[in-house]
A and B are shown apart, each in its own frame.
Chain A
Amino acid sequence: MKKILAMTMALAMSLSLVACGGNGTTSSAGSASSQGAASSQGAASSEAGSAAAGEFTTVEEGKLIMSTNAQFPPYEMVADGEGFEGTGFEGIDIEIAYAIAQKLGLELQIDDMEFDGAMLAVQNNSADVMLAGLSYREDRDQVMDFTDSYATGVQVVIVKEGSDVTMDNLGEQMIGTQRGTTGYIYASDTPENGGYGEDHVIAYDNGATAVQALLNDQIDAVIIDQEPAKAYVEANQGLTILDGAWVEEQYCAAVDEGNTALLEAINTALNELIADGTVKQIVDKYITAD
């Protein structure tokens, strides 16, 4: 018994050491103006450096590390080639983050991981900011600080063509979701809270796997954001999106709770990008209105 206790203690101690490993370096706003790289952004060039007012810290000096889950077209995806500006990724969030980083005079580094891991990365200070089609939620706001919204996210339901699944009988189906997304959180909630219960929901590592399971008939429906849904339906024969929105949300970027200086810097940059039409330009590039 003593040995077991000792082993458990040793495990707990080594883990708590890891948990203390967060670090941060200071990056002053002054360095922003010295970097002319922003000129490649066209519209953004004139305001380079103006966004960063106060002093903020990033995990690694001179770098803005963004955590994301790059299986979420058209917001973020792994590029076949070089990707956007050599990041290896492309998509709306990638380009917006790149523009923000330019404004702040930082180099953008993208860390691709699973969606739930991406949220934890920001909280654990292994990444500075998360852009991943992240919807605002009150309980998320308690552990992360959110910027203003830059896009509206609509969650829709993908089903197979000709299936008898409707918005009303979802509770009797097997529903695939992506782990950690609002779709998963709402759907797996108890029926009293408007969900369908854990037994009717399967959380997959990413949306693509859920769609694959739907194609295989392993599940009956997939709840996912509208734009990725469109991309998946277009790419796979025999899928269709149910009419109407399952839920509507606001996409925001998020930083660690209490990192107000960085939040303000990013928020200012983001709002400038929204005001001068850069964000709309980026969104229009990927999403063609129909």
Chain B
Amino acid sequence: MNLAQLYETLTAAGNLSGWQEMYVNFYKAWFLNDRWIQYFKGLLTTIEVTVIALIIGVALGVVVAVIRTAHDQQRLGRRNPVLGIINALCKIYVTIIRGTPMMVQLLIMGFVIFKSSRNFTLVGALSLGINSGAYVAEIIRGGLMSLDPGQMEAGRSLGLGYFDTMRFIVIPQAFKAILPSLGNEFITLLKDTSLISVIGGKEIVYFAQAIITKTYEAMYPYIIVAIMYLIMVLIFTWLQGKLERRLRESDRR
């Protein structure tokens, strides 16, 4: 007897025991009408949004962090006025993004700024990326600032330019220090994608809720979704661990 037949017999019989009811409810949430395809359709959107947002977030974060650090590490009395203006802009960006909830930002992006766009996935990814950028910027800035100024001075005195010193000396060391908090931020980003359903983005939670409206049973769809997120985060954590080990190889022990 295969799964579908078992489901048919059980629903036809009625008056089920606890275990049988669990099976029937799970079957409805996963197998019936090929509903599992919907979860994976949602999963694909979630991954798509995460990847786009990640790229936007890291790009924005690096730029903002470098500007903020360059501004803060200028020598007294020799401040660059242009850098001061850009720095102020970066500060406003970080303040606004960190000072408003992700949900509100999504609603503003979806219903005010990009109000005629029909590509909800991309609007969602963009808002998440812009949001993530502010946090990534602060994390990277923390890493760059934490490094002893002597490292930069040493690099410069060896004849490397500012960007070369950054590229070969400062950033590799800073990156190792910020990797755990960066991983944290990426995991938060992945989980925040569940919010894009409020503007019509069709990710995993959207489909789970859609299935619940048809089965009137909330437990299995939500648990399935929770497990899917958990697996994604576990894979990500494992990759991050590998990267960290790799970077530690050059450490003195």
A residues in contact (CB < 8 Å) with B: 4, 7-8, 11-12, 15, 19, 116, 119-120, 123-124, 139-140, 142-144, 174, 176, 179-180, 184-185, 188, 198, 202-205, 209, 212-213, 216-219
A120's contact among B117, B198, B216, by CB below 8 Å, is which?
B216
Q: Mark B196-216, 1 if CB is under 8 A from A, else 0.
A: 001010100010011011101
Give the residues in chain B near A8, CB-CB below 8 Å: 227, 230
Contact present for B209 and A15 (CB under 8 Å): no
Known: A216-B116, A218-B116. A139 touches B219 (CB 8 A): no
Complex contacts, B230 vs chain A, CB 8 Å: 7-8, 11
Min CB distance A69 to B, Å, is 13
The answer to whether B219 touches A19 (Cβ under 8 A) is yes
Most buried by A among B216, B217, B226: B216
Would you call B234 an interface residue if the criterion is a C-beta within 8 Å of the partner chain's C-beta atoms? yes
- Residue B96 at the chain A interface, CB threshold 8 Å: no
The answer to whether B216 touches A188, judged by C-beta atoms less than 8 angstroms apart, is no
Does B219 lie within 8 Å of A15, measured CB to CB? yes
Asked if residues B209 and A203 are in contact (CB atoms below 8 Å), the reply is yes
CB closest residue in chain A, given B123: A218
Q: B200–A218 contact, CB under 8 A?
A: yes
Closest B residue to A122 by beta carbon equals B216
Confirm or deny: B248 has a beta carbon within 8 angstroms of a beta carbon on chain A. no
Which chain B residues lie closer than 8 Å to A212 at the CB level?
111
Task: Give the distance to chain A from B93, nearest Cβ to Cβ, in Å.
Answer: 25
The answer to whether B118 and A116 touch across the interface, beta carbons within 8 angstroms, is no
Q: From DSSP, what is the main secondary structure of chain B's interface residues? A: helix
Question: B: which residues have CB within 8 A of A?
Answer: 38, 111, 115-118, 120, 198, 200, 202, 206, 209-210, 212-214, 216-219, 223, 226-227, 230, 234
Residue of B with least CB distance to A115: B213
Q: Given A7-B230, A203-B206, verify A116-B213 contact (CB < 8 Å).
A: yes
Question: What is the distance, in angstroms, from B94's C-beta to the closest C-beta of chain A?
Answer: 29
Chain A hits for B206, CB < 8 A: 203
A123 CB contact (under 8 Å) in B198, B210, B216, B226 = B216
Contacting residues, chain B, for A184 (C-beta < 8 A): 210, 213
A213 touches B200 (CB 8 A): yes
Q: Which of A124, A139, A203, A213 contacts B111 (CB under 8 A)?
A: A213
Distance between B222 CB and nearest chain A CB, rounded to angstroms: 8
Q: Report whether A205 and B111 are in contact in the complex, using a CB–CB cutoff of 8 Å.
A: no
Q: Which residue on A lies nearest to B107, using beta carbons?
A: A209
A180 to B217 Cα, complex, angstroms: 12
B227 to chain A: closest residue by CB: A8
Q: 22 A-B contacts, Cβ less than 8 Å apart?
A: A4-B234, A7-B230, A11-B223, A11-B230, A15-B226, A19-B219, A116-B209, A120-B212, A120-B216, A139-B216, A143-B216, A176-B200, A185-B214, A198-B38, A202-B120, A203-B206, A203-B209, A216-B115, A216-B116, A217-B116, A218-B116, A218-B118
Bound-state CA distance A7–B230 (Å) is: 9
A119 to B218, CA, bound (A): 10
> Is B200 a contact of A120 with CB atoms below 8 Å?
no
Task: Output the nearest chain B residue to A123 by Cβ-Cβ distance.
Answer: B216
> Which of these, A15, A123, A142, A179, contacts B213 with CB under 8 Å?
A179
Contact A116 B212 (CB under 8 A): yes
Question: How distant is A12 from chain B, measured CB to nearest CB, in Å?
Answer: 7
B234 surroundings in chain A (CB, below 8 A): 4
Is the beta-carbon distance between B227 and A11 smaller than 8 angstroms? yes
Contacts of B200 in A (CB 8 A): 176, 202, 204, 213, 218
Which chain A residues lie closer than 8 Å to B212 at the CB level?
A: 116, 120, 180
Contact check, A218 vs B115: say whether CB atoms are below 8 A apart: yes
CB–CB A15/B223 < 8 A: yes
Closest B residue to A119 by beta carbon equals B216
CB neighbours (8 Å) of A217 from chain B are: 115-116
